[in-house]
Amino acid sequence: MSDGGADDTAPTDIRRVGDDAHWDTFEELWTGLMSYRYLNKTVPELDAGHEDELESMPVRHDMRNPHGGIMAAPLAIVCPEPAWTDDEVIPAPIIASTQIIDDARGVEKFEVLREVINFGRTMGFMRSKVVDAADHSRVIAVSAGMGVNMGTPPHGFEPMENPPIQVEDHPDMPRLHEVFGCTRGDDGFLRLPELRQDQSAPHAALHLGPIHIVMDAAAHEAAWEFAGTDALQVENWYVMFVKGGVAGPFRCETSVISGSSGKINVDLTLRDEGKGDRIITTGSAIFSRI
């Protein structure tokens, strides 16, 4: 669903369709997934018609903090770990770790440089660099992670047309968490809505995109409140995907710890309220003062 509206149908699980229907179903799911299309991230291995040989993404105002520094979620989305593509396996992430060493001021576009550590039968390990597309010597972040193979797709994959959603970049554009439907409840917690197809991975669980986005927004707001200022820059982003989010709404809880150095750590817990309030993702973000 490319307009960001709600979808009342239960998400389709690619593992439940037969081989004959697999790639037609995948095309419908992949081209309807909001995470990459709204942020205009390219996946050259899967998407037809891209001139870029590397994964890439433009850098917009909605990806930056109030002082112009990059936020964590856009980096984690342009560089999902591991880059085990759907033409090889049915992938699911387990750990994503991003160290931000440059706030990306003045950068107009990211590109990703990948290094496969090991892709085994069931587990994949990778590390990567997110760089300025105009100058690969300018490294914005280093990333590492691991994922699991949930199944083997049939042969016959062909790249598909998957045009990005046209988004006008301007300072007053909606924030990413607003576009992805995050709302704040009376209890003060940010929540993603019930699972819908345009925010679901092909295996019918909440996609990593909205997970990073709601947790990033919650982490920033908690750190700002604790510090009494929004003059902070996220430097470390670590996420563990514990279980699939299959129902929703998804509530993000935060807890703040500050060290003697002045850095601020925000621990994050994402729960699936429609599945017994179980924990589906945990993480942490470390901020420094600017």
- 87-136: pLDDT as tens digits: 899 999 999 999 999 999 999 999 999 999 999 999 999 999 999 999 99
Tokens describing residue 216: 């990033």
Instruction: Examine the pLDDT at 7 and tell me if it is beyond 80.
Output: no
Sign of CA dihedral 60, 114, 81, 22: positive
Predicted confidence at residue 181, as pLDDT, reads: 97
Measured over the CA atoms of residue 177, residue 178, residue 182 and residue 188, the dihedral's sign is positive
Question: Is-cis flag, bond preceding 193, omega within 30?
Answer: no
* 38-63 average pLDDT score: 92
Task: Tell me the C-alpha to C-alpha distance, in Å, between residue 57 and each of 36, 136, 213.
Answer: 9, 14, 16
Q: Does the pLDDT at position 3 exceed 50?
A: no
pLDDT in tens, 68-79: 999 999 999 999
Q: Among residues of the chain, what percentage have pLDDT more than 70?
A: 97
pLDDT band at 84 (very low <50, low <70, confident <90, very high): confident
Average pLDDT over residues 136-158: 96
The residues near 127 (Cβ < 8 Å, ≥ 6 apart) are 81, 115, 117, 142, 143, 144, 145
Residue 203 zone, left/alpha/beta (φ > 0; ψ -120 to 50; rest): alpha
Which range among 149-163, 207-221, 272-286 shows the weakest confidence by mean pLDDT?
A: 149-163
* pLDDT at 19 exceeding the cut of 70: yes
Q: For the chain, how big is the Rg over CA atoms in Å?
A: 18
State mean pLDDT over 150-177. Answer: 95
The predicted structure's pLDDT at residue 9: 67
Query: What average pLDDT does the chain have?
Result: 94
Specify the pLDDT at position 4: 40
- The whole-angstrom separation of Cα 112 and Cα 131 is 6
Using alpha carbons only, give the angle 124, 130, 133 rounded to the nearest 5 degrees.
135
Residue 231: exposed, middle, or buried by beta-carbon count in 10 A (0-12, 13-18, 19+)? middle
**Taking phi first (over 0 means left), then psi (-120 to 50 degrees means alpha), and beta for anything else, what does residue 195 get?**
beta
Inter-residue contact 146 to 124 (CB < 8 Å) = yes
| pLDDT at residue 82 tops 90 | no
Contacts of 29 (CB under 8 A, 6+ apart): 12, 14, 197, 200, 202
Q: Which 3 state secondary structure label does DSSP give 31?
A: helix
Residues 72/234, Cβ–Cβ less than 8 Å: yes
**Interacting residues of 11 by C-beta distance below 8 A, sequence separation 6+:** 195, 196, 197, 200, 204
Binned at pLDDT 50, 70 and 90, residue 52 comes out as confident
pLDDT interval class at 2 (50, 70, 90): very low
pLDDT of residue 51: 74
Q: Is the pLDDT of residue 177 over 90?
A: yes
Which pLDDT value is given to residue 5?
42
First to last CA, the chain: 39
Q: Quick one: pLDDT at residue 96? A: 97
Lowest mean pLDDT among 213-222, 242-251, 253-262: 253-262
Does residue 6 surpass a pLDDT of 80? no
Q: What class is the 14-151+175-289 domain?
A: mainly beta
Q: Are strands 264-272 and 250-258 parallel, antiparallel or unpaired?
A: antiparallel
Q: How many angstroms separate the CA atoms of 105 and 172, rounded?
A: 18
Q: Is the peptide bond before 171 cis (omega within 30 degrees of 0)?
A: no
Average pLDDT of span 139-166: 95
Cα–Cα distance for residue pair 199/180, rounded to 1 Å: 8
Place of tokens 């950068």: 107
Answer for the pair 198, 179: CB distance below 8 angstroms, yes or no: no
